[in-house]
């Protein structure tokens, strides 16, 4: 058993009760799952698979409870490139061979990238037989209000810098 678990729950106050801890943990998972849609169940991230003695790591692996199939998600912090489809197709084949049971449907792939161009996506996926989708994503850079209020303002920082420089000059 892992000890300790390190949880990034910056939205928790310093003093909290068990239900607040549980809610904060669920909210992190719930936010992503709700964005993906109904039926997604989280299996793991950087999910390790081994093929021909080589290790590969799937960015995120889900199981869809209504479709009865694995969902392989590849995350790209760039514009879509056609080679991403080949990598995802490899992962889908490996998951179908190594993880899928006879009762499961074929796996589905999703490539989440910053941007995509219609024809680059269309041409790279046209003759691939496995279902793969490509979507862009946006990351919100808005911090929670209680964190924003706790951070110093630009004026506070500049004042602190001025004080530090004056103290340094007086020495």
- pLDDT on residue 167: 73
In a domain, 42, yes or no: yes
In a domain, 61, yes or no: yes
Q: How many domains does the chain have?
A: 1
Mean pLDDT of the chain: 83
Terminal-residue alpha carbon distance, the chain: 54
In a domain, 97, yes or no: yes
- pLDDT on residue 19: 77
SS (H, E, C) 55-81: EEEEEEEEEECCCCEEEEEEEEEEECC
Q: In this structure, are strands 54-64 and 69-79 parallel, antiparallel, or unpaired?
A: antiparallel
Confidence check: pLDDT of 70 > 90: yes
Residue percentage of the chain with pLDDT more than 90: 36
Instruction: Judge contact between 7 and 28, C-beta under 8 A.
Output: no
In a domain, 153, yes or no: no
- pLDDT on residue 1: 45
């Amino acid at each position: 058993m892992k000890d300790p678990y390190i949880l990034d729950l910056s939205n928790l106050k310093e003093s909290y009760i068990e239900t607040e801890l549980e809610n904060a943990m669920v909210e992190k998972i719930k936010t992503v799952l709700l964005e993906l849609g109904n039926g997604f169940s989280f299996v793991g991230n950087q999910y390790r698979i081994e093929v021909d003695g080589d290790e590969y790591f799937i960015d995120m692996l889900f199981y869809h409870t209504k479709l009865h199939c694995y969902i392989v998600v590849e995350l790209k912090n760039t514009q879509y490139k056609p080679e991403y489809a080949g990598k995802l197709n490899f992962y889908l084949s490996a998951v179908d061979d190594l993880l899928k049971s006879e009762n499961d449907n074929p796996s589905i792939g999703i490539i989440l990238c910053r941007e995509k161009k219609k024809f680059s996506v269309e041409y790279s996926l046209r003759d691939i037989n496995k279902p793969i989708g490509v979507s862009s994503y946006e990351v919100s850079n808005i911090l929670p209000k209680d964190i924003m209020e706790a951070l110093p303002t630009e004026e506070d920082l500049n004042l602190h810098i001025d004080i530090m420089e004056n103290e340094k000059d007086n020495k």
